[in-house]
Amino acid sequence: MNIILLGPPGAGKGTQAQRLVEERGMVQLSTGDMLREARTSGTEMGNKVAAIMDAGELVTDEIVIGLIDEKIRSGNTAGFIFDGFPRTLAQADALNELLSRNGAQLDAVIQLDVDDAALVDRIVGRAKEAVAAGGEARKDDNEESLKVRLMEYYKKTAPLIGYYYARGDLKVVDGMAAPDEVAQGISAALA
Ligand code: ADP
């Protein structure tokens, strides 16, 4: 089974993806994680990616599609959870193509439905927790980048809700509930 977790920054996509990995042995493909890894490479591409991410803007379709292509080719039997991808209609089209080229298909798109005001609190909270735990907050977890990330989401990613609804793939899950309840909502949607 191959599924997409769709929702704005702070909706809980990473948390829920992690649970699906533990419970079902699925493979999480987070383009955010892949890009954070790429930026540590010190290459020219890595530095370019770092500046875009810190500003809260989207990295080019070409780069992220390339990253996903590589992972899909490696295949797996339990299925992929796409987390943070696709984020544009061009990426959604590319995903269909990459899956079908590998004899696979998309089974469901889970939209984590959340209230905008809560996102800012969640992300600022996440940054504070990271610092309190002695770590470092993500460079883009500040109010300024967050505003850009939300704007990018509404301009470029939210149209995917309509796209997947029209294809009959969309399942809406309340993302405002506690993580366990959200996980139950996802399980019910996938049953
Ligand atoms: P969040 O969903 O919390 O904003 P992610 O970890 O998914 O965070 O993404 C962090 C950043 O990585 C994004 O703001 C963007 O710059 C970049 N990014 C991640 N996935 C994509 C994608 N599919 N297309 C373009 N840029 C992406």
**In this predicted model, what pLDDT tens digit does every residue of 109-163 receive, in sequence order?**
999 999 988 888 888 888 889 999 999 888 888 888 888 999 999 999 999 999 9
Residues with a catalytic annotation lie at: 13, 87, 126, 138, 149
Ligand 1 pocket residue status of 31, Cβ below 6 Å? yes
Cα–Cα distance between 3 and 79 in angstroms, integer?
A: 8
Would you say 23 and 101 are in contact if contact means Cβ atoms under 8 Å apart? Answer: no
Task: Output DSSP code: residue 166.
Answer: H
Q: Tell me the pLDDT band of 93, cut-offs 50, 70 and 90.
A: very high
The minimum-distance atom of ligand 1 relative to the CA of 32 is: 6
pLDDT of residue 124: 86
Distance from chain centroid for Cα 161: 14
Is the previous residue joined to 8 through a cis bond, with omega within 30 degrees of 0?
no
The pTM assigned to this predicted structure is: 0.94
The model's pLDDT over 35-79, given as tens digits with 9 standing for 90+, comes to 999 999 888 889 999 999 999 999 999 999 999 999 999 888 899
Q: In the predicted model, what is the mean pLDDT of the chain?
A: 94
Q: 31 CA to middle of ligand 1, Å?
A: 6
Ligand 1 pocket residue status of 7, Cβ below 6 Å? no
> What letter represents residue 166's amino acid?
A
pLDDT of residue 45: 85
